[in-house]
Homo-oligomer: A and B are copies of this chain.
Amino acid sequence: MDDCAVLEVGGEALVLTHDALVEGLHFMPGQDPADVAWKLVATNLSDLAAKGAEPLGVLLGYQLGADDARFLAGLEEVLAHYSIPLLGGDTVGQSGPQVLGLTALGRATHRPVPSRAGARPGDGLWVTGALGAALAGFEACRAGAGDSLAYRRPQALLSEGQALAPVVTAIMDVSDGLLLDAARMAAASAVTLAIESAAVPIALAEARRDEALRWGDDYQLLFTLPAGAVCPVKAQCIGEVTAAGNDGVLLDGAVPSGKLGYEHR
């Protein structure tokens, strides 16, 4: 989600991130606590993935909720899936809507640690996979039918991030919508990102392409590569980097209108 902190310690670059989820804002009271645990961990690990970091562990700030055993089951599942330890944390009493916090800590596998700043005019713009999968999953979840996994249990693309770190000029995860996150990368890199709408892989019907480009929660990696560079992971080139105008993001040559993605708070 956010950009991570990078800290030099004993010859290693530590990568740190902290995200919080609030009941009623980031997850619904009726949601399976095991899925909430999964998402809390996976979204933080996605931040590490975008730094090419290898996770070392997490610390959990847990507020007691409706079904703590179920949360714990999901937590164990996601930690086992990514082979990372729960290093510590704190448990506090119930008091209104549940608030959950997670700190994830990793070790950079490549130096310098890549960031969302660094895209240069002439670079290609790439994305690792289909957008809109989480939206489709969300709709399946709400309908009580169909495959909701992409929404409930997002994947952190850790090995992809590690493979990309040495070759990208800029990288971030797409958590709040492609257009919004691309605008953030454009701002951080002081460039314009020209996206070709038709080139973007989507997980929704063609008629809903525009929604797929603005919906969040997919946690694909968005990155830039020098022109002609071979991409080391499965990914799609969706546009190119041009010199900064005042536009940030161009979609098929025009400034996209409306909300670009999910704005927090």
Binding site for B on A (CB under 8 A): 1-5, 7, 9-12, 14, 16-26, 56-57, 59-64, 87-93, 95-97, 99, 101, 103, 105, 107, 264-265
Contacts and interface: CB of A to CB of B under 8 A. Distances in A.
Contact of A87 (B5, B19, B60, B99): B5
Contact of A9 (B21, B24, B91, B107): B107
A42 to B, nearest CB: 15
A1 B61 CA distance: 14
A90 B26 CA distance: 13
Contacts of A62: 20
Nearest to A96: B96
Contacts of A57: 5, 7
- A4, A62, A103 — which one has the most chain B CB atoms within 10 A of its CB? A103
Given A12-B10, A16-B105, A90 B1 contact: yes
Contacts of A99: 61, 63, 92, 95, 99, 101
Contacts of A91: 264-265
B103 A5 contact: no
A57 B9 CA distance: 12
A3 B19 CA distance: 22
A91 B264 CA distance: 9
Contacts of A2: 88-90
A28 to B, nearest CB: 13
B97 A95 contact: yes
